Structures are given as structure tokens and as C-alpha cells.
């Protein structure tokens, strides 16, 4: 197997391959593998809606010795900020197999996804768990200091529970953001963020 590296990947993995593929390029077997990895990594706390949120965009798949050990995806969302609807690459379903953590797999996943965000979007965003926050902060993602909301069925609504765990990353040439402003994400079923 070859070793594919992405900018910023500092891992020391051997016999490792990172692949980017759109959901439409993944067969049922690969999607079942991804779902099994996510279920194990999140210890059964990864719902069908969570899985659905990670589909329809680009996936970063990290294999070691032919086994899937890391995954993440980036899907398009619209985020309203200061009256503009920003084309946002929203990072979803990032997971690393438990026995491969702290070996650069997460960095390889994020480096691949950041490449997609930098080439296709004006803003990157994600909602981080406590366990994942250090990975994102270490890669230059920052906690959004302003308010967080969603464009719900009844209109805009604030999501105070997402404040402090929503991270953003602005690629070179990306959106100019007012750090005190509000980010309103498009609505979706399940967890909005």
C-alpha cells in the first residue's frame, strides 16, 4: 500500500493510505464499514440521523493494512452571517478506531477534509465533542466566540447549547467574519449541529 500525505499531516503511520471519495463513489460495503467504525468509536451513541448528516459530501477514509481505521466527511451547509449565506464545508462523522488513536490518523483525516474545505468553501465549521476538541484546536480551528443559531421551521432560533463547542476554520481567501456576530446554520432533522 502507498502512503498518501496531506499538508499538515505529521503522523508517523506506516502501511497507511488516505483516500478522498464522494458518497456516490462508496459502495454499500464501504458504507457499512464506515458505520461500524462510527458505532464503535462513539460507543453506540451514533444515531441513524448522525450517520445521515455525514452523507452526500466528501469522505476521508484512512486504511492501515487494508483495514478502515479513520473516517470523516465534509458536507455543504449554508450559514447565515451578517446577512450573507456562506457556502460552508461542515465536518461530520470524524472517528478513529480506538486502538489507532494518538498516532496521526485523526490528523490525516482532518488534513484531507481541510483540503476540500479550502478548495470548495468559504468557511469550515464543525461541532466538537470534548474528546475531539484538542485535535481541531491543534489544527487551527477556533471556537466561535459569538452566538450560534439555526434557521428553524418557525424562523431563526438561538442554540445556546452549541455555543462553546462550535468551531470554525477560514481557509485563505475565505469569508470575512465578525467574531462577535451570530452564525445561523441551515435546519436539519436530528441534531442541528
pLDDT tens, position by position, 146-184 = 999 999 999 999 999 999 999 999 999 999 999 999 999
Q: Is residue 191, in this structure, part of any structural domain at all?
A: no
Q: What residues contact 147, with CB distance under 8 A and at least 6 apart?
A: 158, 160, 163, 181, 182, 183
Residue 72's CATH number: 3.40.630.30
Distance CA 98, CA 92 (A): 18
Q: Is residue 101, in this structure, part of any structural domain at all?
A: yes
Q: Is residue 125, in this structure, part of any structural domain at all?
A: yes
Mean pLDDT, all residues of the chain: 92
| Domain region containing 140 | 16-186
Q: Is residue 123, in this structure, part of any structural domain at all?
A: yes
Q: Is residue 7, in this structure, part of any structural domain at all?
A: no
> What are the φ and ψ backbone dihedral angles of 53, each rounded to 5 degrees?
-60, -25
Number of structural domains (the chain) is 1
Q: What are the tens digits of pLDDT across the range 25-47? A: 999 999 999 999 999 999 989 99
Q: Is residue 121, in this structure, part of any structural domain at all?
A: yes
Amino acid at each position: 500500500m502507498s502512503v498518501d500525505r496531506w499538508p499538515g499531516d505529521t503522523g508517523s503511520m506506516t502501511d497507511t493510505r488516505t483516500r478522498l471519495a464522494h458518497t456516490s463513489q462508496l459502495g454499500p460495503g464501504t458504507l457499512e464499514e464506515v458505520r461500524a467504525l462510527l458505532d464503535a468509536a462513539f460507543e453506540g451513541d451514533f444515531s441513524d440521523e448522525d450517520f445521515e448528516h455525514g452523507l452526500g459530501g466528501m469522505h476521508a477514509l484512512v486504511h492501515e493494512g487494508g483495514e478502515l481505521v479513520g473516517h470523516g466527511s465534509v458536507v455543504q451547509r449554508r450559514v447565515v452571517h451578517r446577512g450573507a449565506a456562506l457556502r460552508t464545508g461542515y465536518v461530520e462523522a470524524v472517528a478513529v478506531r480506538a486502538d489507532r488513536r494518538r498516532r496521526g490518523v485523526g490528523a490525516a483525516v482532518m488534513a484531507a477534509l481541510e483540503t476540500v474545505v479550502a478548495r470548495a468553501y468559504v468557511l469550515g465549521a464543525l461541532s466538537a465533542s470534548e474528546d475531539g476538541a484538542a485535535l481541531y484546536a491543534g489544527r487551527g480551528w477556533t471556537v466561535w466566540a459569538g452566538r450560534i443559531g439555526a434557521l428553524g421551521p418557525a424562523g431563526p432560533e438561538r442554540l445556546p447549547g452549541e455555543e462553546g463547542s462550535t468551531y470554525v476554520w477560514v481557509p485563505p481567501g475565505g469569508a470575512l467574519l465578525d467574531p462577535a456576530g451570530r452564525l445561523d446554520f441551515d435546519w436539519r432533522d436530528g441534531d442541528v449541529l
